[in-house]
């Protein structure tokens, strides 16, 4: 048995060059499928199994879908022509749509050997049972397991799949080969990334235990694109037939051919398909600099030239932000295509380095940590930073206590929404609990945006798009009022907002929190205060919410169209920076308080100073002492000044000595550098010599290349005739084979005719046929009589049996009573023996005896007295029963003789029939012979007609063969000459590489010559610098002359200074006695000093709080946080926008500081960049460019909020973006998938009409119009 096992064809239209309206990547897939069909024609498999994902995108009917279905039908038919049976199984619904498989089912409904399977079942064939388990629709299973989490739901579906696998095996026959086809993950397989898939909580899987228990002979799997055998079992993933994207780079693609072995098991061989290769080129900052400088050819030579031919290429680069902005990706793409690349997939940065003298402050939400980093950046001393932080802690605590939103932390996620008389809806309720990654579908005007966007905005903020507060009430005369109830969670807390509005305009608003199972009212007395409470709980206003959580179709540019200052406010709200405004206000108030206290202390110091001045001058003795002391001090200062002057001269001479030492070391370093430069120059001169020698052979190279080109032209001339020769040669050989086949067919027909004629002679009738017919007729008559008599024999035997049974019953009855009487006799004998004891006991008073054995004897005597009655009863019953049974015996005997059976007559008939039976057999033989004669005559006639047709075909084939042979011989000489020319071309081909190397050597030689010149100039500079250093050494030696004499002079001056210092100390001791007279003045001065200290403290406090006020202001820590987050926001936006535009567009965020109303303000400007064009503001771009750029920024903001601390967004509801092409839609979906994959708890809901986009989402919701308003179907 041979089994061809394939899967994951993924027929569809991929990103690709288009030629003459044909998608060339689609042609790649067809080329792989052609290899599949070729192998099938060669191997002729008994079964061809296609294990799912025939199509790439499950979609509604369209022209593109029609082309894909036609392609699928073509290749399925090709397989059906060369396979015993073809089984096509549906894969996952987002790839194999229900509509597509319905069409396949209709197309092959009448096919005898093509089976289109969409539900689990077992297909039984003569030698195998194939259990088919197609891909599942999670919605079908979800109805069986409502209310489960994603992990629990996956576990439940996994268990269900295990039951189906074992259940299907139970339906397979034990004596036939059992095969399982499935389209699921099996734990232990290797994914496209090469990782072993063991984590099963992320998707439903088929457990290994289920496969081991079911014990299928072969498991043919689809879904994983990497071909593989799992463990050592007969479980195989066929893998995809074609490489789809860069995840498949470096991996084989193809299909399996399984052949069963005589003693069990499979001989499995993997057949590769001709896939197109993928090539990733990595460029660094230096490469990008060279490209920006115009050296494209040089970078191409060293990085990719000769390695990208006919490949799908992508560029990933790492560089500085400046280089990234300057890179011309369009020019780079053109260069790659000119160098032979099939297509350029993308040109994207892996990492763009941001060079800025700042620290990242967005990594923490702790205001204290952010303050420390801000102060460190402002280069405050650590002691001052610590003091400022101590002062800031109460400020931070007070501000956070006053912030309502500070109470709430964690994920903001919707729970449910209920509306009544809201826009299209009369009444509707929807729960978001099971939503993770979902599309919202429906016709225009059904109410998709109304329920999932407008209702949430109107409930939380009441900003109707009509502009009137009553605008959202349903347009129905019966609807006098409307209501919206929105329930959401923030971390562990659950809130419910209820908003109503009457047509009169009156409205109500309520906010409640779920506490211990009950709703606790959190509303304020006034309507506006309750609205502010909702905003405080959410921690964001409507502009922020609509900028990154709930994106309406007409508000894609909301953030980009906002004023630059408003963008800063949105970012501040997203990052939870509102607390800094409160901290700034608190710090400002504390600074004012301390400044006021400082002014009070200053007035008190002025009063004490005035009192000291009123005391007058110190006494005369103190003045004279001080004057004398001053004289000594002046003398001391003169000595010190003279000594210091000499010490300065000495220091200069010592410095000159140190400089001389450094100059000597510098000369040594320069001489080493010169030696290295000379060595480098020698290397460059060697390169010049090598390149020159190679270039000297230019003429020979060009001659060989010319000879090669000449041969190529000649080969082109001869190629056509060679092709004709090979064609005619093959045709002649094929016709010769056909002629031999036809001749063998003729011989076969002749042999068959001869055999049939011989059989016809043997089948002719004999002379005994009439006698046999008479005897056979007599046998039939006797047989009928015998059958009638045999029926009587059966009736007689039955009556005889019944008579025997009656006789047996009669005898059995008599025996029963005889046995009963014998039993009574035995009892009587026992009792009589006991009675005999009474006569032998010798007891005088037997009637009153108390011994046990005498009492038994007395009881026996009493029982014996009743035995006559017992005998009479048995006799009476015996006579009655025997009379009844005798009547039955007589009746059965009469019935037996009434049958009228004659055993002798039966024997006679049996003898006669046995004698006549051979004639009946011979009659059947005669009839078979007559039928055979008719068939033989018809066969002979058909064989003669067929042989005549074959003879006619043989003559025609021989005639065509002779003509083909003549034409072949006419081209034979050209063929031989062509072969010789190809041999010459092969020998001359290496000279082409040498020709390519000429330009490289030219560049090398030119570069080396330039480098030699540079190095020679560098050596001259080094010589000149060494000479200058030597001149400086001479000057320093002059400057340090006389250093020893000056050292002695300075030592003598030090002794003189010490002598005068002793006199000064003696005079100061006298002065100490006089100071006691100025105690009052000293006391006042001390008080002034204390007041000065307190004044300094208050001044310091005021200054510190001014610093904190500045730090907490918009231009302080908040500015630093926003500035640090801008590169992340830009990188995320540009990654998404690059995916949408193939790297051709980018977003540039620019922070600016402006003076407005006398205050410094921070603004955020946004410019859109496009290759080959200057950066322009957002509003100057076209509609499609606006949508793509704004969408990338929106998704980046959503990711920023989802990853920030405080309140994170657990929802992203987004309306369908307009003006996107197919690549833009794919990139848009990729970006949403990336966000959902990175933040698993975020609920993403996207409104769409695009089936391509719908197929990318595992969950789908439909909104339909009904007579009673719109309804949600899920």
User: Same domain for 644 and 753?
Assistant: no
State the DSSP code for 664.
Answer: H
- CA 1146 to CA 1231: how far, in whole Å? 15
What is the tally of helices (H) and strands (E) in the chain? 32, 33
pLDDT tens digits along 1105-1158: 888 888 888 778 877 777 777 877 787 778 777 766 767 788 888 877 666 665
User: How do strand 254-260 and strand 235-237 relate by DSSP bridges?
Assistant: unpaired
Domain that holds residue 814: 771-916
Specify the higher pLDDT residue, 497 or 794.
Answer: 497
Domain membership of residue 283 (yes or no) is: yes
What is the predicted pLDDT for the residue at 1157? 61
84 shares its domain with 152: yes
Nearest 10 degrees: Cα torsion 634, 635, 638, 644: -110
Distances from the Cα of 1141 to the Cαs of 18, 291, 1225, in angstroms? 18, 21, 11
Say how far apart CA 1134 and CA 327 lie, in whole Å. Answer: 14
Measured CA angle at 650 (ends 647, 655), to 5 deg: 125
Low-confidence winner among 370-374, 1219-1223, 1243-1247 (lowest mean pLDDT): 1219-1223
Residue 1225 has pLDDT above 80, yes or no: no
| Measured distance CA(292)–CA(630) in Å, rounded | 75
| pLDDT of res. 357 | 32
Domain identity same for 322 and 238: no
Q: How far is CA 883 from the centre of its chain?
A: 96
Residue 677, H or E segment: helix 620-696
The larger pLDDT score, comparing residue 883 to residue 1067, is at: 883
Of 353, 387, 417, the position where a domain reaches its end is 353
pLDDT digits (tens, 9 = 90+) for 643-702: 888 878 878 878 888 888 888 888 888 888 888 888 888 888 888 888 888 888 888 888
Q: Which is more confidently placed, 420 or 840?
A: 420
- Give per-residue pLDDT as tens, 532-546: 899 888 877 887 788
Do 777 and 656 lie in a common domain? no
pLDDT digits (tens, 9 = 90+) for 757-767: 888 887 777 77
Q: Tell me the pairing of strands 85-89 and 47-51.
A: parallel
Number of domains in the chain: 5
Give the pLDDT of residue 766: 73
Tell me the C-alpha distance between 1228 and 1253, whole Å.
Answer: 9
1260 membership: H or E segment, kind and range: strand 1259-1266
Residue 624 lies inside a defined structural domain of this protein: yes
Share of the chain above pLDDT 70, in %: 88
Which of 888, 916, 944 terminates a domain? The answer is 916
Question: What's the whole-number mean pLDDT along residues 1019-1041?
Answer: 85
Clarify whether residues 284 and 272 are in a common domain: no
Average pLDDT for 360-364: 41
pLDDT of residue 356: 31
893 or 456, which is more confident: 456
Region at 571 (left for phi over 0; alpha for psi -120 to 50; beta for the rest): alpha
Mean pLDDT calculated for residue range 930-936: 82
- 353, β-bridge pairs: 320
* Average of per-residue pLDDT across 53-73: 76
Give the pLDDT band (50/70/90) at residue 1252: low
Domain-located, residue 187: yes
**Residue 95 maps to a domain:** yes
pLDDT at residue 335 in the model: 92
pLDDT for position 351: 52
- Mean per-residue pLDDT, 425-437: 91
Looking at residue 53, its pLDDT comes to 93
- Are residue 272 and residue 298 in the same domain, yes or no? no
Residue 889 lies in a domain: yes
Contacts of 484 (CB under 8 A, 6+ apart): 417, 418, 419, 422, 455, 458, 459, 472, 497, 498, 499, 500
Burial of 615 (0-12, 13-18, 19+ CB in 10 A): exposed
396-405, 595-604, 640-649, 824-833: segment of lowest average pLDDT: 396-405
Residues contacting residue 891 through CB under 8 Å, at least 6 positions apart:
806
Within 13 Å, how many C-alpha atoms sit on residue 1004's CB side? 20
C-alpha triplet 579, 585, 590: angle, nearest 5°: 125
Range 482-505 average pLDDT = 93
Give the domain CATH number at 147: 3.60.21.10
Which secondary structure element, helix H or strand E, spans residue 1017, and what is its range? helix 990-1039
CA 908 to chain centre: 91
Average pLDDT over residues 170-186: 94
User: Which one-letter DSSP state was computed for residue 453?
Assistant: I
Residue carrying structure tokens 């005669």:
926
Instruction: Give 128's pLDDT tier (boundaries 50, 70, 90).
Output: very high
Residue 34 clears pLDDT 90, i.e. is over it: yes
952-957 contacts, C-beta under 8 A, 24 or more apart: 953/742, 954/739, 954/742, 954/743, 954/746, 957/735, 957/738, 957/739, 957/742
In this predicted structure, what is the pLDDT of residue 1154?
64
Helix (H, G, I), strand (E, B) or coil at 218: strand
Mean pLDDT lowest among 117-121, 568-572, 724-728:
568-572
C-alpha–C-alpha distance, residues 1199 and 1211, integer Å: 10
pLDDT of residue 362: 38
Residue 625, CA atoms < 13 Å, CB-side half-sphere: 16
pLDDT bucket at 1037, cuts 50 / 70 / 90: confident
Q: Would you say 404 and 478 are in contact if contact means Cβ atoms under 8 Å apart?
A: no
Q: Three-state DSSP class for 509?
A: strand
Does residue 59 belong to any structural domain of this protein? yes
The answer on 903 and 789 residing in a single domain is yes
Q: CA of 1257: how far to CAs of 153, 176, 1054, 1264, in Å?
A: 17, 41, 92, 19
Q: Is 432 exposed, middle or buried (0-12, 13-18, 19+ CB in 10 A)?
A: buried
Q: Which phi-psi region, left, alpha or beta, contains residue 619 (left: φ > 0; alpha: ψ -120 to 50)?
A: beta
The answer for residues whose C-beta is within 8 angstroms of residue 427's C-beta and 6 or more apart is 419, 420, 421, 1269
For residue 93, pLDDT beyond 80: yes
- pLDDT higher than threshold 90 for residue 172: yes
Judge if 30 and 130 occupy the same domain.
yes
Query: What burial class does residue 5 get, using C-beta atoms within 10 Å of its C-beta: 0-12 exposed, 13-18 middle, 19+ buried?
Result: buried
Tell whether 253 and 333 lie within a shared domain.
no
CA nearest to 971, candidates 726, 725, 728, 727: 725
- Taking the C-alpha atoms of residue 604 and residue 607, their distance in angstroms, rounded to an integer, is 5
Nearest to 16 by CA among 1256, 1255, 1222: 1222
Answer yes or no: do 197 and 302 share one domain: no
In a domain, 39, yes or no: yes
CA distance 640 to 1167: 68
916, 936, 962: which is the final residue of a domain? 916
312 forms beta bridges with: 278, 343
Query: Quick one: pLDDT at residue 1074?
Result: 64
Q: Would residue 827 count as lying in a domain? A: yes
User: In the predicted model, what is the mean pLDDT of the chain?
Assistant: 83
Is residue 352 predicted with pLDDT exceeding 50? no
Mean pLDDT of 763-789: 80
In a shared domain, residues 962 and 891:
no
752 and 894 assigned to the same domain: no
Q: What proportion of the chain, given as a percentage, has pLDDT over 90?
A: 22
**Mean pLDDT computed over 710-722:** 83
Phi, psi torsion values for 842, nearest 5 degrees: 75, 10
| ∠ Cα 354 359 363 (to 5°) | 100
Count of alpha carbons within 13 angstroms of residue 454, beta-carbon side? 21
Instruction: Give the Cβ contact number of residue 225 at 10 Å.
Output: 24
Tell me the pLDDT band of 359, cut-offs 50, 70 and 90: very low
d(CA 280, CA 736): 52
d(CA 782, CA 696): 120
Compute CA 416 distance to the chain's CA centroid, rounded to the nearest angstrom.
28
Does residue 974 carry a pLDDT above 70?
yes
């Amino acid at each position: 048995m041979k089994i061809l096992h394939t899967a994951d064809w993924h027929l569809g239209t991929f990103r690709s060059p288009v030629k003459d309206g044909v998608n060339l990547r689609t042609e790649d897939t067809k080329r792989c499928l052609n290899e599949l069909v070729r192998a099938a024609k060669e191997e002729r498999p008994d079964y061809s199994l296609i294990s799912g994902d025939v199509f790439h995108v499950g979609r509604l009917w369209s022209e593109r879908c029609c082309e894909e279905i036609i392609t699928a039908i073509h290749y399925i038919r090709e397989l059906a022509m060369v396979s015993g049976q073809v089984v096509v199984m549906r894969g996952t619904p987002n790839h194999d749509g229900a509509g597509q498989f319905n069409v396949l089912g209709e197309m092959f409904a009448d096919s005898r050997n093509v089976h289109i399977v969409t539900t689990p079942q077992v297909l039984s064939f003569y030698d195998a049972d194939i259990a088919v388990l197609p891909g599942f629709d999670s919605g079908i299973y979800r109805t069986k397991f409502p209310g489960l989490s994603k992990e629990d739901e996956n576990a439940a579906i996994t268990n269900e799949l295990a039951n189906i696998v074992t259940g299907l095996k139970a339906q397979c026959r034990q004596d036939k080969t059992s095969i399982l086809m499935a389209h699921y993950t099996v734990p232990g397989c290797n994914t496209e990334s090469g990782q072993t898939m063991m984590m099963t909580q992320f998707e439903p899987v088929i457990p290994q235990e289920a496969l081991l228990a079911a014990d299928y002979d072969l498991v043919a799997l689809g879904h994983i694109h990497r071909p593989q055998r799992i463990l050592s079992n007969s479980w195989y993933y066929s893998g995809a037939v074609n490489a789809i994207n860069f995840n498949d780079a470096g991996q084989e693609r193809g299909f399996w051919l399984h052949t069963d072995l005589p003693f069990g098991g499979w001989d499995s061989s993997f057949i590769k398909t001709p896939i197109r290769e993928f090539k990733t080129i990595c460029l660094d900052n230096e490469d990008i600099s060279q490209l920006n400088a115009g050296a494209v050819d040089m970078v191409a030579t060293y990085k990719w030239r000769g390695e990208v031919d006919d490949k799908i290429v992508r560029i990933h680069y790492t560089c500085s932000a400046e280089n990234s902005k300057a890179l011309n990706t369009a020019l780079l793409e053109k260069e790659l295509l000119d160098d032979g690349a099939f297509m350029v997939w993308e040109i994207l940065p892996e990492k763009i380095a941001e060079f800025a003298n700042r620290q990242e402050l967005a990594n923490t939400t702790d205001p204290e940590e952010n303050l420390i980093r801000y102060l460190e950046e402002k280069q405050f001393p650590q002691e001052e930073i610590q003091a400022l932080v101590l002062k800031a802690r109460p400020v931070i605590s007070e501000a956070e206590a006053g912030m309502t939103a500070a109470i709430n932390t964690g994920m903001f996620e919707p729970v449910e929404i209920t509306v009544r008389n809201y826009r299209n809806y009369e009444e509707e309720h929807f729960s978001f609990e099971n939503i993770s990654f979902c599309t919202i579908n429906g016709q225009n005007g059904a109410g998709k945006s109304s329920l999932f966007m407008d209702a949430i905005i109107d409930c939380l903020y009441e900003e109707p798009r009509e502009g009137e507060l009553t605008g959202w009430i349903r347009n129905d005369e019966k609807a006098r009022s409307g209501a919206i109830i929105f329930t959401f969670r923030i971390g562990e807390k659950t809130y419910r907002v209820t908003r109503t509005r009457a047509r009169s305009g009156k409205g109500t608003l309520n906010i409640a929190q779920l506490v211990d199972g009950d709703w606790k009212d959190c509303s304020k007395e006034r309507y506006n205060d309750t609205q502010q409470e909702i905003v405080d709980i959410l921690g964001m206003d409507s502009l922020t919410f609509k900028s990154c959580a709930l994106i309406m179709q007409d508000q894609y540019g909301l953030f980009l169209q906002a004023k630059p200052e408003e963008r800063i406010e949105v970012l501040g709200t997203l990052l939870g920076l509102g607390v800094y405004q409160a901290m700034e206000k608190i710090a400002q108030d504390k600074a004012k308080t301390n400044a006021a206290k400082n002014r009070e202390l200053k007035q008190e110091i002025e009063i004490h100073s005035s009192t000291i001045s009123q005391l007058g001058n110190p006494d005369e003795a103190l003045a004279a002492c001080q004057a004398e002391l001053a004289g000594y001090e002046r003398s001391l200062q003169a000595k010190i000044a003279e000594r210091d002057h000499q010490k300065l001269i000495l220091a200069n001479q010592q410095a000159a000595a140190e400089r001389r030492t450094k100059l000597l070391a510098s000369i040594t370093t320069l001489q080493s550098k010169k030696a290295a430069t000379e060595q480098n120059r020698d290397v460059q001169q060697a390169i010049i010599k090598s390149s020159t020698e190679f270039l000297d052979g230019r003429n020979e190279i060009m001659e060989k290349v010319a000879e090669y080109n000449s041969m190529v032209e000649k080969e082109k001339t001869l190629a056509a005739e060679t092709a004709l020769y090979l064609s005619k040669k093959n045709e002649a050989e094929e016709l010769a084979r056909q002629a031999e086949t036809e001749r063998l067919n003729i011989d076969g027909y002749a042999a068959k005719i001869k055999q049939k004629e011989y059989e016809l002679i043997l089948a002719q009738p004999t002379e005994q046929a009439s006698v046999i017919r008479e005897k056979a007729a007599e046998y039939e008559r006797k047989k009928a009589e015998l059958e009638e008599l045999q029926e009587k024999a059966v009736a007689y035997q039955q009556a005889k049996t019944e008579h025997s049974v009656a006789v047996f019953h009669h005898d059995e009855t008599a025996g029963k009573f005889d046995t009963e009487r014998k039993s009574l006799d035995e009892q009587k004998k026992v009792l009589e023996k006991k009675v005999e004891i009474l006569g032998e006991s010798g007891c005088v008073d037997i009637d009153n005896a108390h011994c046990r054995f005498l009492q038994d004897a007395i009881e026996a005597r009493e029982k014996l007295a009743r035995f006559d009655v017992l005998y009479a009863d048995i006799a009476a019953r015996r006579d009655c029963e025997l009379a009844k049974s005798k009547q039955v015996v007589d009746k059965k005997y009469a019935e037996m003789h009434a049958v009228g059976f004659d055993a002798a007559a039966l024997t006679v008939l049996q003898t006669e029939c046995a004698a006549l039976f051979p004639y009946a057999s011979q009659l059947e033989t005669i009839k078979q012979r007559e039928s055979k004669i008719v068939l033989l005559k018809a066969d002979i006639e058909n064989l003669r007609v067929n042989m005549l047709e074959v003879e006619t075909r043989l003559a025609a084939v021989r005639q065509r063969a002779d003509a083909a042979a003549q034409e072949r011989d006419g081209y034979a000489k050209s063929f031989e000459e062509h072969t010789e020319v190809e041999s010459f071309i092969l020998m001359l081909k290496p000279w082409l590489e040498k020709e390519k190397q000429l330009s490289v050597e030219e560049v090398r030689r030119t570069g080396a010559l330039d480098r030699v010149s540079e190095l020679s100039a560098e050596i001259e500079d080094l010589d000149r610098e060494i000479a200058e250093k030597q001149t400086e050494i001479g000057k320093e030696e002059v400057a340090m002359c006389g250093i020893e004499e000056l050292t002695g002079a300075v030592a003598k001056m030090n002794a003189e200074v010490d002598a005068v210092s002793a006199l000064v100390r003696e005079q100061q001791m006298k002065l100490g006695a006089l100071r006691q007279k100025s105690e009052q003045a000293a006391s006042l001065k001390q008080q002034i000093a204390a007041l000065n200290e307190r004044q300094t403290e208050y001044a310091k406090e005021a200054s510190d709080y001014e610093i904190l006020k500045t730090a907490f202001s918009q231009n302080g820590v908040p500015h630093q946080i926003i500035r640090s987050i801008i590169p992340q926001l830009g990188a995320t936006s540009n990654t998404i926008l690059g995916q949408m535009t193939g790297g051709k567009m980018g977003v540039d965020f620019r922070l600016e500081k402006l003076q407005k109303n006398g205050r410094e303000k921070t603004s955020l400007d946004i410019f859109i960049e496009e290759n080959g064009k200057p950066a322009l503001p957002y509003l100057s771009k076209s509609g499609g460019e606006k949508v793509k750029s704004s969408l990338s920024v929106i998704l980046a903001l959503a990711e920023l909020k989802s990853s920030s601390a405080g309140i994170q967004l657990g929802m992203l509801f987004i309306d369908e973006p307009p003006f996107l092409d197919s690549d833009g839609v794919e990139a848009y979906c990729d970006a949403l998938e990336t966000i959902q994959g990175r933040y698993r708890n975020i609920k993403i809901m996207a409104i769409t009409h695009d089936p391509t986009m719908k197929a990318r989402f595992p969950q789908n919701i439909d909104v339909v119009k009904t007579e009673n308003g719109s309804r949600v179907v899920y």
